[in-house]
Copies of this chain bind each other. A is one copy, B any other.
Amino acid sequence: MTLAEENYLKAIYHLEQQFPKGVSTNALAEEMKTKASSATDMVKKLAEKDMLTHIPYQGATLSEAGRGYAVKVIRRHRLWEVFLVEKLNFSWDEVHEVAEHLEHINSDKLIDELDAFLEFPIYDPHGDPIPDKQGHFKHIEKIVLAKAEVGSTYKCVGVDDTSSKFLKYLDSNAIGLGTIMTIKHKEPFDNSIKIALEHSEMVVSQSVAKNLYLKKV
């Protein structure tokens, strides 16, 4: 698998969550920030390598091999993110770009030893699960802040939007993975939510509330 092939597999894997019936050429091209014709070419190549099945004008679906490979790349990516944040003082909005490169280094020993060195982490710095060596994810049942119930207390376990802007907003408001919060009030007018943190209270907008994952504690 070349670098480009790995990136396409990863993109298709992510898009499959959203489009389980098959990933369209356009969606893939948009995700990869390229043109539809390029996506077509690569899909054809990956189909020849039995990484996916492709019905022209319909969409692409990963094969077992393709999905396995994508998960492997995701495992590498997320382990490196943990390393960058825990050992090299990266903040959660800085890790992505570097991890995009590190994830393509293909050495089983490297990744297995890194995994052990980090003491087999189960979640990455954004709260996303890290698949184990066999490709199995530890599932976490999480809800979105927008659907949390008033009066209950939750722990922050992840984010949906991983843009630098959003992560910096959370940082500046002392919200991170593991932060404990209680839902004080939901404002029906604009769907904003008032939450209580350890030492402060704040109101978050609906767009924030839709991108923060919580787990009841």
Interface residue ranges, A against B (CB under 8 Å): 84, 87-90, 94, 97-98, 101-102, 105, 107, 109-110, 113-114, 117
Contact = CB atoms under 8 A, between A and B. Distances in A.
B90 A101 contact: no
Main secondary structure of the interface of A (DSSP, over half): helix
Contacts of A114: 88
A101 B105 contact: yes
Contacts of A98: 105, 107, 109-110
Contact of A105 (B87, B102, B117): B102
A94 B107 CA distance: 11
15 contacts: A87-B117, A88-B110, A88-B117, A89-B113, A90-B109, A90-B113, A94-B109, A97-B107, A98-B105, A98-B107, A98-B110, A101-B105, A101-B107, A102-B102, A102-B105
A167 to B, nearest CB: 16
B113 A88 contact: yes
